[in-house]
Structure 1
Amino acid sequence: MKDDLLSNDSANPHLEQLLGARAAGSATRRQILQAGLGSAALAFFGLPAQAAGGGGSAIGFRPIAAATDDAVRVPEGYTLQLLYAWGDPISLGPAFRGDASNSAPEQAEQAGMHHDGMQFFPFVNDGRPSSTHGLLCINHEYTDEGLLHVGGTAAWSHAKTLKSQNAHGISVIEVQLRGGGSELRWQIVRPSAYARRITARTPMRIDGPAAGAVDMRTRDDRRGNVVFGTLANCAMGLTPWGTYLSCEENFNGYFNASGTPTAAQRRYGIREGGSGLRWHEHDSRFDVASEPNEANRFGWVVEVDPWQPGRPPVKHTALGRFKHEGATVTLASDGRVVVYMGDDEAFEYIYKYVSRDRFIAGSSATSGRWLEVGTLYVARFEADGRGQWVALQHGQNNLNEANGFAGQAEVLIRARQAADLVGATKMDRPEWIAVQPQSGEVYCTLTNNRQRVTADAANPRADNAFGHIIRWREDAGDAAAGRFSWDIFVLCGDSQHSDANKRGNIRGDSFGSPDGLFFDRAGRLWIQTDVPGRLMNHGDYQRIGNNQMLVADVASGEIRRFLTGPSGCEITGLTATPDSCNLFVNVQHPGEVPGARSDPARPLAVSGWPANQFAEVTGGRPRSATLVIRRRDGGVVGT
């Protein structure tokens, strides 16, 4: 669910301006951009070519062609299994009814809508993580009200509001590989003591500098430290202590601001009517006039301990409030916890959080304050290929009362305005971030930005429909460093027919609108796409086809298409078992028609997935779902 209304009107520089200055000022760096993906770029970071994959391609499958049909396709030699679709029970609960007549209480025990980021948590047997038994945490980003309810949005009611809220949030399910030979299949363990649904109504704790702040207090929570629910859960993160981070993205669309929104509300896209959702009609929390501070309690990173179903989730305000796409966790050289985050909207920023305390291997989820006390930074990309992390800390960089920030709570609640003030670099929709396990390079997808108006040598598109992937190397290889070197990993687009890549930045299969990123343990980069419905299979995107998943060898520069999705879908969410022999992938919103989510008939005309591909599925409504992909010979996926 994307919001195209521009909310960042600051005078901060745009990335394309920096790329243009950089290209004009250095022939060497132009050559690196033209090389795009090869050894020259690795040398720029001071890395030998083999550091990110060695000689020759690390990819071992035959790529598949782009597709436009209503099915999931994978390479020869691989199997597909449908595991967990919207409406499936998490444990011993009600089954999905194809006419969407499940009640709100039933939905609270079933898979939510629109699966997004997810993570596999293995059980540990004799000190070894299992690749056949674990927990899956799965985000449910938003709802298609036309499909969720009998009669769609007609006769909107309190019951429909509750069902919609219960279709949001997170699933925790227990899964196990069972059987043998041709009968070997992943199954959801039912019953399971770990299974639970976290929804837009689940109580959770607020911690960090903004907990208890005046702007976090409401009539129902006068202390400002407890909130009901999480929503707009997009990408995710995994902590070293074994917990799950779920990220609240487009939270603004759930709030109705009647009248004239404040400047702070406008900066986050809160406006009259929201995104057309009608929760505020039956839940006053989402009516800004009734409860002006409730919106401040969303837009955070939420931590969930999947192994402790009785432990409430926690919203960590130290990580800042914005439209979090993900929260990628790594460790600094001294053991401090570092979290990379993108703010997914046109002209927004890339952030980094560094904890005060060091993580010690073997520590439990309750033994440290790693996500509660630390410093939030925002990225400033410089024209010479260098960059700086600027602290968003009260009392530093003009973040003071004279500029509207009375304390650190205000800095974090209005992190976007703080980043505006310190001169952060405007980016083209920063989304997923991944850290290369061997080299420590950091990769970030910049999905697209149709509002770009400036063309330059490095980005020769005034209308950035295709997006690109940026990468950086922290100084001295230390994730907590204050400075970094950066480069463009790939400019996306139709390399055969479009001006987007005449300089050879794509080597292999074409794609656009990169979104999800995942490094497997061997250092292969998996890329998932989210082409907007209005562009899919039109113009140059017609040659690229439906949304897909590709694999890149970051040393050789080769990119191969591994999966194509059904009509109207997004491919998002990717996790693997420890042995890399099982991939879990999400298919989101098959059949979605832009601007027509309230018309149940139109999505049905676009897609009948997954019922049209998997015989065990009943009911014709399109359903987001989790798939499992395996090699037929049981080997490592992707090799």
Structure 2
Amino acid sequence: MKGSKHPRNEQTLNPSGNASIHDVIDQVDASRRLFVKSSVGGAALAAAGGLTLGGLVQTVQANTGSTLSQPIGFSSVPASTRALNVSLGGSATAVLDKVVVPTGYTAQLLVAWGDPIMPGGTAFAGDASESASQQERQYGAHTDGMHFFPFAGAGGLPSSERGILCANNEYTHEDILYSNGMSAGYNIAKTRKSQAAHGVSVLEIRRSNGKWQVVKNSPFGRRITANTLCKVSGPAAGHALLKSRKFSITPAGSVDTGTLNDGYTAYGTINNCAHGVTPWGTYLSCEENWNGYFGSRSGSLPAVGASEDGKNFNRYGVSVTGFGYRWHETDPRFDVSSNPLEPNLQGWVVEIDPMNPSAAPIKRTALGRFKHESAQYVVDAQNNIAFYMGDDERSEYIYKFVCEGKYNPTNRAANRNLLDSGVLYVARFDANLSGQWIALLPGTVGVDGKALRDNPNFMGANDAEVLAKILIKTRMAADAVGATMMDRPEWTGARPRIKGFQEIEVYCTLTNNSNRGRSGGVKVNNPDGSTAGGTARPLTDAANPRANNVYGHIIRWRESGRTVTATSFAWDLFVQAGDSATTTLTPKSQYEGNIVDSPNGSADYGAPDGLWFDPFGRMWVQTDQQGDGGGNWVNIGANSMVCADPATGETRRFLTGPNHCEVTGVTMSPDGKTMFVGVQHPGEDATYTNPTEYSNWPQGQWSVASDGVTPLPAGRPRSGVVVITKDDGGLIGT
């Protein structure tokens, strides 16, 4: 995620000459063809030119029917387009600057950037005058993945009236964070405030007199920031590549202690994007675009072939200037010219215990190091447990981690360190609609015919050191074994096994890839790990069938034998997102998609990102595109959240977001009657001279806070969380 921080899509079309997916399906044996044809084999058919969408209806085998325990019962809200805004008397250059939900539902603001969430917290000023120390007690910036952890209620059952909300705070918009922007007087105070707005917000919320509010002085409230002390555990902990320079971190600066880190500690978590949870009640925060916070004050980086650091920086996208945050200018911890191992302490899945405010977050190295996007678990019938993950960059990979130990549902303490030992796998999607999970272990043979232990990138004194290097340089290991390069794999989600459905069926959003099918450049991530992150220009393939993949798609797979320990799977495409009314992109068949909606085009969406299954089996998909209704998005409009039936593909649009925002993060109360949804970076791209140029959300939609009394400060757009309820008190989505 991250809106404009990701490369923009390009409009150049590079058609593929690959065989159509129709041809591929015909090669699949009859016993497996039902999964493909009854789901979304048709998505790839249309995209690859094998059939027209009209002919597809008559050709693809009928769906097996809904398995939802609660049907989708709302009517789609209209796309929030510039044209809609004009028809309502608004601007011809903007989409609606508000959250819109279906008739019969109400959305209210729960919390926004700068709201106090813990003892000593101060109210948001609205003029960016807060200090770093104040921000450390306030809700962080740019909400992303989130989860609601209920307290015990009546009879010991999970409460739907009170609990803890954990929410990621992915990044900061510096022109809004500081009153005078980035350029004027940049110093350590600005760096510290930016670092304090990153990380994770943990807040107690409760429903009182029908309204959800933050418990501002709760002992559970805390902020985990870019400077919070974390533990490092698992196979890579203590390795020399994690022993960066050690600093004493103070408000005035980071002071070099003259010693090295021990490899078992790290400071801070940054660019926390999507998330996961564990069945033992902990929160998993995923570090995504962490590379952009590092830079080099020397103005250069070691050459790719000259050192291990140079190759590592290249493969993970560490650069001289980063994303322009400038932390490295005032905080030497982020200066890779003098502290080159610090980036190795970022890029992990971080486990947080929401019920224990004194527990340090733990970076679990067994799950690998990359640009983590989501970590969703599945427990099979034998209590084996696996976590499914995406690496969010163009032409990166899909992973799963299978714990060595089994999940114990009756003893929480027995599960405490399940994430420290197991096997990390990377996915290969074959053209015959089967796939393989390739173990990233020292003895695994790569495409060069050599075991990973004999690969120069991972050689060590013993296999324990080899494994540590594989986990620290996970992308290079996946390159070496020939995993399938995907179109920005983001959130994963597992379909609930309800109403007799017993398959282990996992989905992953593939947001887009403007490099897919482009001419020039390398077509693979080189097996020696030398390719710069996000630069490959792969050909289209069965799992990624569209060149210049503007609108993205969703892939899914079923594990063989209904167990998470399987090393093989069957896969297909659930949907190709698109614009049914496009006139700007040709050929139209490449871009209109095959979303199942009625009337056709009423639930069009593109750039699928967030993905979550509710307890009733419905799949919720959130989008991450430019969000202003311009260019390729003139018909699709603002970012949105849709609801889909995974069995039939039926899709309806449930929510549209404010101008220039991303819709991301969703969770529910246990009774299914309250939904929490995140709104990230409303008004993105505004400057400090006019911070509300594009959006004044949420103040522009609600003048008062959730208590119905406290005025919302004006002056700056604010990321936040909305709470959605049904007016009749019923279940969300019905």
TM-score (norm 1): 0.91
Question: Quick check: 1:612 aligned with 2:700?
Answer: yes
CA contact (8 A) 2:236 2:365 kept: yes
CA contact (8 A) 2:18 2:540 kept: no
Cα displacement (A) at 1:460: 6.4
Question: Quick check: 1:178 aligned with 2:226?
Answer: no
Question: Quick check: 1:250 aligned with 2:289?
Answer: yes
Taking the TM superposition and a 5 Å limit, the aligned residue runs for 1:472-551 are 472-497=557-582, 498-500=588-590, 504-508=594-598, 509-532=603-626, 536-551=628-643
Q: 1:202 — aligned with what?
A: 228
Which whole-Å CA distance do the structure 2 matches of 1:456 and 1:263 have between them?
28
**Per the alignment, do residues 360 and 366 of structure 1 end up closer, same or farther by CA in structure 2, a change over 3 Å counting?**
closer
**Per the alignment, do residues 18 and 603 of structure 1 end up closer, same or farther by CA in structure 2, a change over 3 Å counting?**
farther
Q: 1:428 aligns with which of 459, 463, 487?
A: 487
Cα displacement (A) at 1:127: 2.0
Taking the TM superposition and a 5 Å limit, the aligned residue runs for 1:400-415 are 400-406=453-459, 407-415=466-474
2:400 counterpart letter in structure 1: K
**Per the alignment, do residues 432 and 20 of structure 1 end up closer, same or farther by CA in structure 2, a change over 3 Å counting?**
farther
Cα displacement (A) at 1:504: 3.7
Where 2:373 maps in the other structure, the secondary structure is coil
CA contact (8 A) 2:118 2:218 kept: yes
Question: Quick check: 1:143 aligned with 2:143?
Answer: no
**Per the alignment, do residues 562 and 413 of structure 1 end up closer, same or farther by CA in structure 2, a change over 3 Å counting?**
same
CA contact (8 A) 1:342 1:351 kept: yes
CA contact (8 A) 1:19 1:383 kept: no
Which whole-Å CA distance do the structure 2 matches of 1:171 and 1:458 have between them?
36
Q: 1:600 — aligned with what?
A: 688
Identity of aligned residues (%): 48
Q: 1:123 aligns with which of 144, 151, 156?
A: 151
Post-superposition Cα deviations, 1:141-175, rounded to whole Å, max 9, x if no partner, equal 00011111121112101111111100001111011
Question: Quick check: 1:267 aligned with 2:315?
Answer: yes
Question: Quick check: 1:86 aligned with 2:113?
Answer: yes
Post-superposition Cα deviations, 1:338-390, rounded to whole Å, max 9, x if no partner, equal 00000000000000000111111032256542100111000000000000000
Q: 1:235 — aligned with what?
A: 274
1:609 counterpart letter in structure 2: W
Which whole-Å CA distance do the structure 2 matches of 1:20 and 1:610 have between them?
49
Q: 2:549 — aligned with what?
A: 464
Where 2:372 maps in the other structure, the secondary structure is coil
Post-superposition Cα deviations, 1:68-111, rounded to whole Å, max 9, x if no partner, equal 21111000111111011000000331111110101110000001
Runs of 4+ residues over 6 Å off in structure 1:
16-19, 456-460
Which whole-Å CA distance do the structure 2 matches of 1:485 and 1:458 have between them?
12
Taking the TM superposition and a 5 Å limit, the aligned residue runs for 1:2-21 are 20=19
Which whole-Å CA distance do the structure 1 matches of 2:395 and 2:623 have between them?
19
* RMSD of Structure 2 on Structure 1 (CA): 2.5
CA contact (8 A) 2:429 2:543 kept: no
Where 1:400 maps in the other structure, the secondary structure is helix
CA contact (8 A) 1:36 1:506 kept: no
Which whole-Å CA distance do the structure 1 matches of 2:291 and 2:156 have between them?
44
Q: 2:534 — aligned with what?
A: none
Question: Quick check: 1:638 aligned with 2:733?
Answer: yes
CA contact (8 A) 1:592 1:603 kept: no
1:25 counterpart letter in structure 2: V
Bigger drift between 456-465 and 241-250 goes to 456-465
Taking the TM superposition and a 5 Å limit, the aligned residue runs for 1:363-374 are 363-365=411-413, 367-374=415-422
Taking the TM superposition and a 5 Å limit, the aligned residue runs for 1:9-408 are 20=19, 22-27=21-26, 33=40, 35-36=42-43, 49-50=64-65, 52-53=67-68, 58-67=71-80, 68-92=95-119, 93-125=121-153, 126-153=155-182, 154-179=184-209, 184-220=210-246, 221-257=260-296, 258-261=299-302, 262-365=310-413, 367-397=415-445, 398-406=451-459, 407-408=466-467
CA contact (8 A) 2:642 2:653 kept: yes
Which whole-Å CA distance do the structure 2 matches of 1:171 and 1:434 have between them?
23
**Per the alignment, do residues 503 and 256 of structure 1 end up closer, same or farther by CA in structure 2, a change over 3 Å counting?**
closer
1:537 counterpart letter in structure 2: G
**Per the alignment, do residues 412 and 558 of structure 1 end up closer, same or farther by CA in structure 2, a change over 3 Å counting?**
same
Q: 2:718 aligns with which of 600, 620, 623?
A: 623
Where 2:206 maps in the other structure, the secondary structure is strand
**Per the alignment, do residues 458 and 355 of structure 1 end up closer, same or farther by CA in structure 2, a change over 3 Å counting?**
closer
**Per the alignment, do residues 554 and 259 of structure 1 end up closer, same or farther by CA in structure 2, a change over 3 Å counting?**
same
Cα displacement (A) at 1:503: 7.1
Post-superposition Cα deviations, 1:300-330, rounded to whole Å, max 9, x if no partner, equal 0000000000010100000000000111112
Which whole-Å CA distance do the structure 2 matches of 1:423 and 1:151 have between them?
48
Cα displacement (A) at 1:589: 0.1
Question: Quick check: 1:417 aligned with 2:432?
Answer: no
CA contact (8 A) 1:549 1:571 kept: yes
Cα displacement (A) at 1:601: 3.6
Which whole-Å CA distance do the structure 2 matches of 1:208 and 1:445 have between them?
28
Where 2:693 maps in the other structure, the secondary structure is helix
CA contact (8 A) 2:293 2:325 kept: yes
Where 1:24 maps in the other structure, the secondary structure is helix
Which whole-Å CA distance do the structure 1 matches of 2:25 and 2:698 have between them?
51
Where 2:418 maps in the other structure, the secondary structure is coil
**Per the alignment, do residues 272 and 624 of structure 1 end up closer, same or farther by CA in structure 2, a change over 3 Å counting?**
same
Q: 2:305 — aligned with what?
A: none
Which whole-Å CA distance do the structure 2 matches of 1:464 and 1:420 have between them?
22
Cα displacement (A) at 1:36: 4.7
Post-superposition Cα deviations, 1:41-91, rounded to whole Å, max 9, x if no partner, equal 9xxxx998246338xx92100111001211110001111110110000003
Which whole-Å CA distance do the structure 2 matches of 1:209 and 1:461 have between them?
38
Which whole-Å CA distance do the structure 1 matches of 2:647 and 2:194 have between them?
45
Which whole-Å CA distance do the structure 2 matches of 1:47 and 1:286 have between them?
55
Which whole-Å CA distance do the structure 2 matches of 1:550 and 1:577 have between them?
19
Which whole-Å CA distance do the structure 2 matches of 1:412 and 1:242 have between them?
25
CA contact (8 A) 1:232 1:250 kept: yes
Post-superposition Cα deviations, 1:484-518, rounded to whole Å, max 9, x if no partner, equal 00000000011243433667444341000000011
Cα displacement (A) at 1:603: 4.7
Post-superposition Cα deviations, 1:370-428, rounded to whole Å, max 9, x if no partner, equal 10011100000000000000000122222113432121110000000000000000000
Q: 1:441 — aligned with what?
A: 505
**Per the alignment, do residues 196 and 574 of structure 1 end up closer, same or farther by CA in structure 2, a change over 3 Å counting?**
same
Cα displacement (A) at 1:223: 1.4
Which whole-Å CA distance do the structure 2 matches of 1:456 and 1:226 have between them?
41
Cα displacement (A) at 1:532: 2.9
Q: 2:660 — aligned with what?
A: 568
2:237 counterpart letter in structure 1: A
Residues matched between the structures, number:
613
CA contact (8 A) 2:204 2:220 kept: yes
CA contact (8 A) 1:175 1:189 kept: yes
Which whole-Å CA distance do the structure 1 matches of 2:551 and 2:226 have between them?
33
CA contact (8 A) 1:375 1:391 kept: yes
CA contact (8 A) 1:381 1:388 kept: yes
**Per the alignment, do residues 166 and 628 of structure 1 end up closer, same or farther by CA in structure 2, a change over 3 Å counting?**
same
Post-superposition Cα deviations, 1:222-271, rounded to whole Å, max 9, x if no partner, equal 31111110000001011010000000000000011441341111100001
Bigger drift between 448-457 and 491-500 goes to 448-457
